Structure 1
Amino acid sequence: MLSTPNHENKNNTFALHLEKKEIRTKMLYRKFLTVLLLCVTIASYAQQKARWIGTWACAQQPVDKHFMPYNNQMTNRSVRQIVKVSIGGRLIRLLLSNELSAEPLEITSIYVAKEEYKIEPLTARYFSFHGKKGVHIAAGRAIFTDALKFDLKPLEKLSITINYRKAPKSPTVHMGSRTTSYILKGTSNPMTNFASALKENHWFNISSIEVYDKDVAAIAILGNSITDGKGSTINAQDRWPDRMSETLNNTKEYNLLKSGRMGILNLGIGNNRILSVGLGIPGKDRFNRDILTQHGLSSVIIFEAINDIGTSKNPEETAQLLIREYEKMIIKAHERGLKVYGGTITPFKGCKGYYTEEREKCRKTVNEWIRSSGKYDGIIDFDQLLCDPASPEQLRKDLHIGDWLHPNAAGYKLMGEYAAKKILQFEENKKTEVTHIKKIKDKPLLSNR
């Protein structure tokens, strides 16, 4: 049967309709790809844009007279403090804290120079505050210096000298510096000899150092005395975060990012707890101030609870309270786009006043949750790393300082190198996830058929 002209017109109309629909579909698809490409370009630009990133930090504390019983009055004193940074940069700034003092802090000047207390005078540079050398910091406040051009190398030691005009009777400090500070009467300059200075192993008012860079990120660590470095070597900078930084920033094979650098920020406080007051503000309360306010973060390590467990009067309840606070901190970090890695709680059988069978059950409950809850983006299993295989409830004999609680220098070295390797694995997994997502985005979302 032959087609009628009317039937042919209908077929032509239908074909034309299909052709127009296909054209519109292709145009929509092209617009979608254009928008997607624009988004990717913007995201790429944002990633490449330079920003401030932490290279060193310490958690601030009020003075505890039990640990710092001497006169801490720094009025009309010059205090030289030594720190070891993680990443380098050509533009730096310093954060000064008077947050935990009841009186204002007045500083005449601050200068920074290379190396130890015997500085290299030609490397010295003065910080400024809105173009001026001096600064007044109100009680309860912290303030950044202006940006300063300074050729800072990764893993380099810096000397920071503060000339105090007037200081609070009870300063804002970090007590467990494991690093000597040098105190002279009067005002110093880069040529001043500090050989006769009073020596104290504490940091005063210095809170963080940042570099201005791109393609670099930092990790902030919440911890107690094991992170703060009790048992490490004075002035050797051999806490486990220091060893982690050395592994990440000093070995070519460990390239976390394109630049191969990672800022390590140690916010540990000795005798600190998550749930209640030990030394310093409890971890659950200082997480916002000490961790989430750090600049340039990509991730957080939570490795704290041993003091809560070792002093607990109700270990079963303590386990549940710790888990609840961990979950809250993880949520806060994830809301800010940060990865969160959990450190398992290390053994402490043999530690007088801490160990009981009930508290050991609490530790195991907490560690089991850390490992199996799925809340963390990765696990750093310090428990398995340091435990005695023949007696998993206690540390290996060759890895602690004799109190069955704190690792020694060898233990910290093992922890730092292990943590660095785990971070590299986590970062590689993150890259794989991003690549997988990109491949999905690159696939056509509309059929050409």
Structure 2
Amino acid sequence: MRTSSLRPALLAILPICLVAATATPVIAAGHGPARPPAWTATWAAAPHAPVPGNDFDGPNWSVPGFTDTTIRQVVRSSAGGSQVRIRLSNAYGVRPVRLAGASIARSGPGASVRPGTARTVRFGRDTEATVPAGGSLASDPVDLRVSPLESLTVTLYFAEFTGPATFHQDGLTTTYRAAGDHRDDAGAAAFAGETSRSRYFLTGVDVAGEPGARGVVVAFGDSITDGHGTRADADNRYPDQLAERSATGKRPVAVVNAGIGGNKLLADSPCYGDRATARFGRDALDQPGVGAVVVLEGVNDIGAGGYPDFGCGASPTARTADLVRAHRTLIRAAHQRGIRIIGATVTPMKNFTGYYDPDKERVRDELNRWIRTGGEYDAVVDLDRLLADPHDPDALRAEFDFGDGLHLNDAGADAIAAAVFRVLARAA
């Protein structure tokens, strides 16, 4: 493992997961003025450009956008606090988005919220806000006590046409919409029948104050990190299960998911997000309180290498040297910010249609060998060996297979979470 890059600040990281503490108090000692909250990301979704729905990911509302529409989105916290805020993105918008109002509450069943828990979300003390085209916006602090692993419902009302919506396609959690302004509804009746499993404009929820987490681990990657193959509405993606392990520890940390299905290290895609090297700063290193990042990227560069453009961008044939260079770019960026970075080997792909041939497998093997032995990542999680069929190491174990030879079921995601947790604990 790399040791020369361990700065003194990184040696004081948490015993569980190598993350720098975020211990600044919300209120200054004595009777002085309040300090700005020290925010910790408790949930995140990586944004990308609007695209039409499809058979693989399901329908979504990103391309038409919204007018006189209320959207309800349920998130699960990975860490607690006494204050909360939301973050919105219009990174891929072609016009400013006018938000007429927003609220946050503890979730009830479905689209309902628990009575008496809804809080108005303000931006610069105003209930309305404008998210500029290409920009983002964080709300003011909201006094709402949040517990680890608690479900929260964020309600957004757009009175004016938004234009196409910056979104996250494979959200795996039901999102609800209703015509008109229903931000104050505690019940779910107005939202019946209007659902998707994507995220719209909402890219982060942060917490501050007690009980607090001791930092943030960002899971950065493609559809395996994003959770494709795990059960919808069950929070069984590997980062979710890693958060559950952390929450039961003595010094819990937050875990947020910065995966995008189909994402690549080397190529931008209008369907699957900016290339990993381009989005790494925004989606991983800029998360409030981040102290460590786990990188699992490369399978789509290798498996889809050589594909023509079917509408989601061309996939040039991947070469090992180019993939290693991209990983090094991520490592340098993290170390420049004093952030630990853990590399995960690329998982087996033999039985995923179109992704396997001997040349592609050779590149996967070469990249994994470099990740394991190159000594440039601060630690390594060897998912290739963990998930491989013992009788055919190029293929995924049957008990972890969602059914397509590449994506993981709940048990496979849990196996990754356990492995990442062990590596983080050993390296502390």
- TM-score, normalised with respect to structure 2: 0.84
State the Cα distance separating 1:219 from its structure 2 match.
1.0
Cross-structure match for 2:197 = 201
CA 1:141/1:298 → structure 2, altered by over 3 Å: closer, same or farther?
same
Match of 1:165 among 159, 170, 190: 159
Q: 1:310 aligned to 2:285?
A: no
Cross-structure match for 1:80 = 72
Question: Map of 1:12-411 to 2, 5 A cutoff?
Answer: 48-50=23-25, 51-67=38-54, 68=59, 72-116=64-108, 117-195=111-189, 196-213=192-209, 216-249=214-247, 251=248, 254-255=249-250, 260-278=251-269, 279-313=272-306, 318-411=319-412
| Runs of 4+ more than 6 Å apart | none
SS in structure 2 at match of 1:61: coil
SS in structure 2 at match of 1:369: helix
What is the identity, as a one-letter code, of the residue corresponding to 1:85? S
State the Cα distance separating 1:99 from its structure 2 match.
1.2
Query: Is contact 1:81–1:159 with CA below 8 Å preserved after alignment?
Result: yes
State the Cα distance separating 1:277 from its structure 2 match.
2.3
Query: Is contact 2:115–2:186 with CA below 8 Å preserved after alignment?
Result: no
Query: Is contact 1:309–1:315 with CA below 8 Å preserved after alignment?
Result: no
CA displacement, residues 293-333 of structure 1 (integer Å, 9 cap, x when unaligned): 11111111111110001012399852110100111110111
Query: How large is the RMSD of aligned CA atoms in angstroms?
Result: 1.9
Give me the identity figure in percent. 30
Query: Is contact 1:88–1:154 with CA below 8 Å preserved after alignment?
Result: yes
CA–CA distance in 2 between the matches of 1:95 and 1:69?
21
CA–CA distance in 2 between the matches of 1:284 and 1:47?
26
CA–CA distance in 1 between the matches of 2:327 and 2:49?
25
CA 1:121/1:226 → structure 2, altered by over 3 Å: closer, same or farther?
same
CA–CA distance in 2 between the matches of 1:315 and 1:94?
37
The answer for unaligned runs of 5 or more in structure 2 is 1-11, 13-20, 26-37, 307-314
CA 1:317/1:349 → structure 2, altered by over 3 Å: closer, same or farther?
closer
What is the identity, as a one-letter code, of the residue corresponding to 1:126? T
Greater helix share, 1 or 2?
1
CA–CA distance in 2 between the matches of 1:103 and 1:300?
32
CA–CA distance in 2 between the matches of 1:297 and 1:245?
14
State the Cα distance separating 1:194 from its structure 2 match.
2.4
Query: Is contact 1:107–1:134 with CA below 8 Å preserved after alignment?
Result: yes
CA–CA distance in 1 between the matches of 2:414 and 2:23?
33
CA 1:299/1:226 → structure 2, altered by over 3 Å: closer, same or farther?
same
Query: Is contact 2:71–2:157 with CA below 8 Å preserved after alignment?
Result: yes
Query: Is contact 1:182–1:194 with CA below 8 Å preserved after alignment?
Result: no
SS in structure 1 at match of 2:39: strand
State the Cα distance separating 1:222 from its structure 2 match.
1.5
What is the identity, as a one-letter code, of the residue corresponding to 1:248? S
CA–CA distance in 1 between the matches of 2:417 and 2:116?
34
CA–CA distance in 1 between the matches of 2:196 and 2:401?
25
CA–CA distance in 2 between the matches of 1:315 and 1:286?
19
Higher mean displacement: 127-136 or 46-55: 46-55
CA 1:316/1:167 → structure 2, altered by over 3 Å: closer, same or farther?
closer
SS in structure 2 at match of 1:298: strand
What is the identity, as a one-letter code, of the residue corresponding to 1:105? V
State the Cα distance separating 1:121 from its structure 2 match.
2.1
What is the identity, as a one-letter code, of the residue corresponding to 1:426? A
CA 1:230/1:215 → structure 2, altered by over 3 Å: closer, same or farther?
closer
CA–CA distance in 2 between the matches of 1:312 and 1:165?
43
- TM-score, normalised with respect to structure 1: 0.80
CA–CA distance in 2 between the matches of 1:188 and 1:179?
20
State the Cα distance separating 1:344 from its structure 2 match.
0.6
Q: Which has the larger radius of gyration?
A: 1
SS in structure 1 at match of 2:83: strand
State the Cα distance separating 1:263 from its structure 2 match.
1.0
CA 1:371/1:316 → structure 2, altered by over 3 Å: closer, same or farther?
farther
What is the identity, as a one-letter code, of the residue corresponding to 1:49? T
CA–CA distance in 1 between the matches of 2:317 and 2:223?
23
CA–CA distance in 1 between the matches of 2:74 and 2:238?
18
State the Cα distance separating 1:141 from its structure 2 match.
1.0
User: Paired residues, what number?
Assistant: 376
Query: Is contact 2:40–2:213 with CA below 8 Å preserved after alignment?
Result: no
SS in structure 2 at match of 1:123: coil
SS in structure 1 at match of 2:274: coil
CA–CA distance in 2 between the matches of 1:188 and 1:47?
36
The answer for unaligned runs of 5 or more in structure 1 is 1-39, 41-45, 428-449
SS in structure 1 at match of 2:173: coil
Cross-structure match for 1:17 = none
CA–CA distance in 2 between the matches of 1:185 and 1:192?
16
Query: Is contact 1:119–1:190 with CA below 8 Å preserved after alignment?
Result: no
CA–CA distance in 2 between the matches of 1:312 and 1:73?
33
CA–CA distance in 2 between the matches of 1:145 and 1:197?
29
What is the identity, as a one-letter code, of the residue corresponding to 1:239? R
